[in-house]
Amino acid sequence: MNKPLLAALATLAVTGIGVAPAAASPAAPASSASSASPASPAAPAARAVSFAGTVALSNCSGSLVRLPASEDDDPALVMSNGHCLETGFPAAGEVVVDQPSSRSFGLLNASGTRVGTLRAGKIAYATMTDTDVSLYQLTSTYAQIRGSYGISPLTLDDTRPTAGTAITVVSGYWKRTYACSVDGFAYRLKEGEWTWKDSVRYTSACQTIGGTSGSPVVDNATGEVVAVNNTGNEDGGRCTDNNPCEVAEDGTVTVREGINYGQQTYQIPACFGLDNKLDLSRSGCVLPKP
């Protein structure tokens, strides 16, 4: 995973200091981190994607998000990874629903400046089974956030992305972007005890690092969120922690050293109803249930 907790919790236990992302470099710049050349087709589009609506967690990245049917007076949602929960990694098969939380998030504007602090009221949904996502319900509405800070949420696209789509991974933690394209999809992505379905594989230009976990993956053409960044194969290991492998439908295992992945988010809107209320029994909702 792009891995805030394993090494960080070990550091916390030994030193007593606050959690910080593993593998995160203090020298990370606040500009685009794409390794694509300036002449690459994705580079101009990526510059149009800003930090507005992204958030910084204590150990990860995230984003203020709305569903296609969300209204201004709905309680706002923040999306990150399941493995970014303040309570630690959910076990395989575990689903967290409606758990109280007072977690805070630093809200960024378009240039990456922190303009305010948002506060959770609860973890509406989180899991590392089939996908790797957490959705926090905030104590403020979208209208209140816009009125206080002039920031609107990012919209979750309810359509599955396609290979070749130009994307940008936007890290609120590092105030750093990664521009590349959707290379394809992994039927199953296995990392340690966890297995994720239909994961987005990035082209090699998106060299995400620790602390980028939970970043929104934005479709450059629409500005909507199509995935949440979560992992990458660090050193060629096979299906181990920090070294996910792809498992094809016929069982063939492929290891792609240095390649990073995100989990699709188009399934999420079907699981929320009026007032941004989670309802896992809704027609079309395929998120894992407790």
User: Strand 61-66 and strand 95-100: pairing?
Assistant: unpaired
Q: Is pLDDT above 50 for 44?
A: no
Alpha-carbon distance 137 to 231, whole Å? 24
**pLDDT grade for 1, boundaries at 50, 70 and 90:** confident
Question: pLDDT tens across 162-221, in order?
Answer: 999 999 999 999 999 999 999 999 999 999 999 999 999 999 999 999 999 999 999 999
pLDDT the model gives residue 2: 79
* pTM for this predicted structure: 0.87
Please give the sequence-ordered ranges of beta strands (E in DSSP) within 25-150, or none if there are none.
Answer: 54-56, 61-66, 75-80, 95-100, 104-108, 114-127, 133-141
Q: Return the amino acid letter for 214.
A: G
Residue corresponding to tokens 């979750």: 156
What is the residue-averaged pLDDT of the chain? Answer: 88
pLDDT the model gives residue 4: 59
Percent of the chain topping pLDDT 70:
84
